[in-house]
Amino acid sequence: MATERDVVAYLQTSQAIRDRTQKIFEQCQDNALEHFTCDLSQLEPVASYVVETTQQSYPDFEVPFHSRWRHFDAGGVHRLAVLHQKLQPLDRLGRARSLIDLAIVSVLLDAGAGGEWQYRDAVADTVLGRSEGLAIASLRAFEQGFFSADSADPYRVDAERLQQISELELAQAFQVRKDNPLVGLSGRLMLLHQLGEALTEQPGYFGTAPARPGRLLDALKERYGTELDAGVLLTKVLKCFGSIWPGRVAFAGVNLGDVWSHPALGDSPPENLVPFHKLSQWLTYSLVEPLEIAGISVVNLNALTGLAEYRNGGLCVDLGLLVPKHPRVRAVAHLPSSAVVVEWRALTVVMLDLVGDRVRKQLNKSAEDLPLIKVLEGGTWAAGRRIAKQLRPEGVPPIAIESDGTVF
C-alpha cells in the first residue's frame, strides 16, 4: 500500500501529469464532464494549422527547444549574444551558473502579464508585451545587477537580495505605472521572496554565503555526472522549489504546487488531484540549454508534457478541438482552482500529445527528430497566439482566467 510519501513522490513526476489528465480525458470521452467535450475530428486540422505556423518561422523545420531563451531575442534583437559576451570572463561553469540564475527568476516572473502592460527596451528601442516583454524586463534587470547582492558581480541572483526586493523596486524594474498595469505584481514579488527563502533553507542544493539558484548546477553535476533524465530534472525542480508556491494544495505537509482537485476523479485528496506543474516544466525546459553549456546532457525530453497554459489551451478551444458545454465557460473569468480551468488544462495536456503525434506524421518525423519540446515551440504555443489574434483583435485567450501572477 502506498504511503503518503509515495503519493507525494508520484505527484511530483511527469508520469502523474499524464496519468491524471488521461483520466479526465476518459471522463470527457464518456461525456461525463460538466464543462467540456472533445471533437477529435479536429485533430488533423489543428495539426495542419500547427505545421503551417511552424513553417512560417522555421521553413526548414529545424525548430529550437521551447524555452525561456527564445523570448530574450524577441523582435529579432540578438540580446542573448550580447549577454554571452558579457559572461565571457567567467569560466564555463560560471557562465552556466549565471544563465541558470537568469532562467529561474525569469521563468518565475513569467505568469500572464495582462493585455495592457508593455515594456520598453531602451537598449533596442523596442516595445513588447506579455511573455516576451516580461522576458526582456527580467533580462535587463539581471544585466543591471538587480538580483545581485554584490554590485561588483551583477550577473547573478542571490537569496539575500531576493528577500530584500520591494514592490516599488520591482514595479520600477518592470516599468509598472497606473497607465501600464502589470497583472499579479504582488504575487510575483511574493514568489521572489519565497524563492530567496527556499534557496537559504537548502544549502545542499544552493550553497551558502551567498545561496544562489545557479548552485543547483553543482549539485546536479555531482549527483548525475554528464547525463540527466528530463523527468528526474523536473522532480528535482519540484522538490527544490515546491515551497515557494502560495495557497496551494498540501498533502502530508508538502506544498504540491500547481496541483488542483477535480470532482471527476473523486471526493478527496489524493485521488482527486490533477498535477500540471506548468511553470516548473517551463523551467525544466529552460534549464536544458545552460546545463548543456556545463557539460550535462538532458535526455528523454519526451518524458515531459505539454504546458497547460492559455496559449496551448486556447488553440484547442479556438479550433474546435475542445468544445465548451455551456456559455458560462466563456462568459465569466475563472479561478485557476475552478473545475472549468482544471478540465481545460487537463484536456489540453492530452490534446498536445495527440496533436504532436499528428504533426510528426504529417512531417514524417520521429519523436526523436521532433520531440514535444519542439512541437510546442514551432508550434502549438505560436499557433495559439496566432489564432487568438485572428479571432480577437487584442489576442486574449478564449477563456478568461483570474490570474494572481503565479500560475499562468
What pLDDT does residue 406 have? 64
d(CA 241, CA 251): 16
- Structure-block grid coordinates of residue 310: 492559455
- One-letter amino acid of 193: H
Residue 384 Cα to chain centre, angstroms: 15
Residue spans of the chain under pLDDT 50: none
| 374 contacts 61 by C-beta, under 8 angstroms | no
What pLDDT does residue 209 have? 79
**Is pTM, for the whole model, over 0.85?**
yes
What pLDDT does residue 2 have? 80
Give me the sign of the Cα torsion angle 382, 386, 389, 391.
Answer: negative
Q: CB count, 10 Å around CB of 285?
A: 27
| 154 contacts 102 by C-beta, under 8 angstroms | no
What pLDDT does residue 347 have? 98
Phi first, then psi, for residue 152 (nearest 5°) are -80, -10
What pLDDT does residue 243 have? 85
